[in-house]
Each structure stands twice: as structure tokens, then as C-alpha cells.
Amino acid sequence: MGSGASAPTAGADAVPLPALAELSAEDKARVLDAANEAIAEAVATIQKEKKWKAASDELKPKLSAKKHAGEKTLLWISDGILSWPVAASAAKDGVLQMWYAAKEQHELWDDIVAAMKAAEVPEGSFTHVGWMFHGSEMTGEYKEQNLKFLAALKPYLAEGARVDILACEMVAGPTGLKIFKELEKESGINLAASTDLTGNSAAGGNWILETDGVDVKEQYFTDAINEFSETLLGFAMHRKAVRTAQRRRGGPCHF
């Protein structure tokens, strides 16, 4: 009597077993090598994620307990950045570090006010604010939300202050540049943003915000930021970029 359960079927992208059986010994070895490489990469990624989660869980309460001590510079970091603890820990003396939950990326106006009050930040305190998150070219989809965030932040800015947007390719194209200029004009705040990858140089990133020629590494970080393992385009996209860059150089991939 047959079983009522149907036999498992291969996924749409699965290689039929007969096709594998027909491969030469050399090609089978290539398939095995590729599978082992993929498994090793997946294991390394999981281990890296666990490492950064532990570092994140340890750092968050310490930063949340900080009080303003006269700092003129703020680094406002999304915890959606896998290795954000590196960036926070690499901040220069005189830089107040704060973190926020990535899931609230487009609802930050209440968060920034709550964070300022918790840290007892007086109005008019900051001459420079670094807003650090994973991102790509502005589309205008969240323009109103971003304006609300900037309006909530503005009372805590000194006259002539600048807000540096530490994310990738914010103004890489004409749409992004248009939205950027609108945000700057409508908020009344001097903004700076990047035309290319921001972050890890191994993936082609840098720490320059091209709209204003700002070196954010010099502004916010010590050389410890060199250990930052990503670009701010996102970890998955960073891995792809690293593969491309390092294969061109003929070297191994490191994440």
C-alpha cells in the first residue's frame, strides 16, 4: 500500500539529480567545491551576525545611559547596520553617540526628541550631526517623514549646523539630488550626502560626502573605523560588492 504523503519535489532552481549523475568526475568536483564554498560562507555569515548581535546587546544600554556632557557633535546610528558597534566605538572624544531601532527608520521624529531628552541635551547644542544608516538614492517616498525628523532635530542644532547623511549614493542621480535640495531648502538645514558608496574601502567605499566635500571619518571617527566591515548600502549588497572588487583583484573575499 502506498503512502499518502507525496514525494518531495525539487525547487524551481534545483538541479535534477540525473543531470548531476551525468556530469564528469571533474565537473562533479567543481559542484562539490561550489557547495562547500556556499556552506562555509553561510556559516561565516551566521557567526558574524551572532558576534555583532552580542556586541550590539552589550553596547545599547551603555549608550542609552549616556548624558550630554557638552558635546558639539552627535553620531545618530541605526542598529540595522550589522557592525554598527564598531562605528559607535570608533567615535572621537567629544562625539556623543546615540543609536536607534532600524525598524523605525521613517518614524524618527519622536525617537530623536525622546533621545535628546533622555540624554539631557540642551537646545542649540550641536554644530554637526552624523545620521548613519543603510540607504541608497533618495526617491522622495519618505520626504515628508524625513522633513518631520529634521524639524524635530532642528531645535537641538546650533546656528549654521550641518547634518551629514552617512549612507550610500543618496544623491547618485538627478532624482536623489532634486530631493536632497528640496529637503535642504524646506528644512532650512545644511545637509551633506554622498554620490557613491560610503564605508569600507575594500568594497569601493569611502568616507567623503561629495555634496559638501566633507570627510566624515575626520569629523566623527578615529582610525578604529577602519575595522568597520560594511558599506552603508547594506550588508548583503556589501558582500556582493566585495566579491566583485576582490575577484577583479584576484584576491580572496573577506567580509
| Sequential pLDDT tens for the chain (255 residues) | 333 333 444 444 555 666 777 888 888 888 888 888 888 888 877 777 787 788 889 999 999 999 999 999 999 999 999 899 999 999 999 999 999 998 766 688 999 999 999 999 999 999 999 999 998 889 999 999 999 999 999 999 999 999 999 999 999 999 999 999 999 999 999 999 999 999 988 878 999 999 999 999 999 999 999 999 889 985 444 444 444 433 333 332 221
What is the CATH classification number for the domain harbouring 111?
3.40.50
Tell me which H or E stretch contains 162.
strand 157-166
User: Is residue 107 domain-resident?
Assistant: yes
In a domain, 40, yes or no: no
DSSP bridge pairs for 199:
231
Closest CA to 129 of 91, 178, 173, 103: 91
The verdict on residue 23 lying in a domain is no
Q: How many residues does the chain have?
A: 255
Whether 100 is in a domain gets the answer yes
| Rounded-to-integer distance, Cα 117 and Cα 83, Å | 26
Is 39 inside any structural domain?
no
Query: Which residue type is seen at 236?
Result: A
Q: Note whether residue 30 is domain-resident.
A: no
Residue 34 placed within a domain:
no
Domain residues for 151?
49-249
Domains contained in the chain, number: 1
For residues 131, 136, 141, 143, the Cα torsion angle rounded to the nearest 10 degrees is 30
CB 170 within 8 A of CB 176: yes
Q: 3-state class of 114 per DSSP?
A: helix
* Cβ atoms of residues 208 and 201 within 8 Å: no
In this structure, is residue 17 part of a structural domain? no
What's the CA gap between 216 and 218, in Å, rounded? 5
